Amino acid sequence: METERFKGYMLVTDMDGTLLNSSKTISPENLEAIQRFVAQGGLFTLATGRITSSAKRFADQLPINAPAILYNGAVIHDYAKGVDVWQRTLDVSIRPTLSRIMAQFPELGVEIYCGSEPYFIRENATTDHHRRSESFNRPKSEGFDHLNEPWFKVLLAWESDLLDEVEAYTTQSQDEGMLWVRSEGRYLEMIPAEASKGHALEHLMELMGVEQLNCIAMGDHLNDLEMIRRAGVGIAVANAHATLITASNRSCCHHDEHAVADVIHWLERER
């Protein structure tokens, strides 16, 4: 095996719907291919909307050798050192916007991400499912005025068709201090301006000394769009949102068919 075959290359993958299969696990095929890519000199890491602790249980299974993009781009975290190396936070000026949205949609679920776990400000069936799937333990919080720690993001959760109405409403009140991203059908997220996965990827390339041409990024949903656009090679999995497929340079197989392994096989053929 050529140990320097992928020196100078970096592969960055989204997790849910891309690296992880429908069972929310890393397939042996993906793991073996990633190990092979890293053994040949490549840099490998994650780019996810998940928080540090949620992504860690997967990061611990992988030969990650570059800092990971978390919170949909608000944080870059070095798991090897256990420290954040870059972050962006929401300005307090966005709080009236959140209050207006909550008043307009009384059944909308709201999670605020600051500290070690999200604060559940308003709950519904979607936030209940999210809490159980991620094993979050914080009880419901009464309001958010007492949350003085920096906010990394706000997650709005509801059924997909109902959340479409919320998303349409948010376009009426754009705030320069933040961005809206749809991370999946049931989640709409408020993140800091200049803190998309794309912004974070640009910083990560600079941090790791990787040329844009040699950066490969994979994803499946609209929160991956800026990352796909700013990578040298942006790849959409077969199950990706149509907008992502249109914006990508390449496509690969479905996330249930070992998509990361498929991309690494392609890279090995090209190199």
pLDDT digits (tens, 9 = 90+) for 155-198: 999 999 999 999 999 987 666 688 999 998 999 999 998 899 99
Predicted pLDDT of residue 171: 82
The whole-angstrom separation of Cα 38 and Cα 200 is 21
pLDDT of residue 232: 98
Q: Could you confirm whether domain 10-88+195-270 is CATH 3.40.50.1000?
A: yes
CA pair distance 152, 183, nearest whole angstrom: 15
The answer, yes or no, to whether residue 142 has pLDDT greater than 90, is no
Q: What dotted CATH number matches 92-192?
A: 3.30.1240.10
36, pLDDT greater than 70: yes
Task: In whole angstroms, give the CA distance from residue 226 to residue 224.
Answer: 6
pLDDT of residue 172: 74
What integer pLDDT is reported at residue 115 of this predicted model? 84
* pLDDT tens by residue, 44-103: 999 999 999 999 999 999 999 999 999 999 999 999 999 999 999 999 999 999 999 999
* High-pLDDT (> 90) share of the chain, %: 90
Dig out the tokens for 160 from the structure: 């997909």
Q: Yes or no: say if 151 and 89 are a contact pair by the CB < 8 Å rule.
A: yes
CB 110 within 8 A of CB 122: yes
State the DSSP string of 175-193. -TTEEEEEEETTEEEEEET
Question: Can you give the pLDDT at residue 189?
Answer: 96
Residues above pLDDT 70, as percent of the chain: 98
Rounded Cα distance, 202 and 198, in Å: 6
**If you average pLDDT over residues 11-34, what whole number do you get?**
98
Q: Which residues have a Cβ under 8 Å from the Cβ of 90 and sit 6 or more positions away?
A: 150, 151, 152, 153, 154, 177, 178, 190, 191, 192
pLDDT digits (tens, 9 = 90+) for 206-256: 999 999 999 999 999 999 999 999 999 999 999 999 999 999 999 999 999
pLDDT at 2: 67
Q: Is the pLDDT of residue 1 over 80?
A: no
Per-residue pLDDT at 194? 87
Report d(CA 267, CA 36) in Å as an integer. Answer: 11
Kindly list the domain boundaries of the chain, sorted by start residue: 10-88+195-270, 92-192
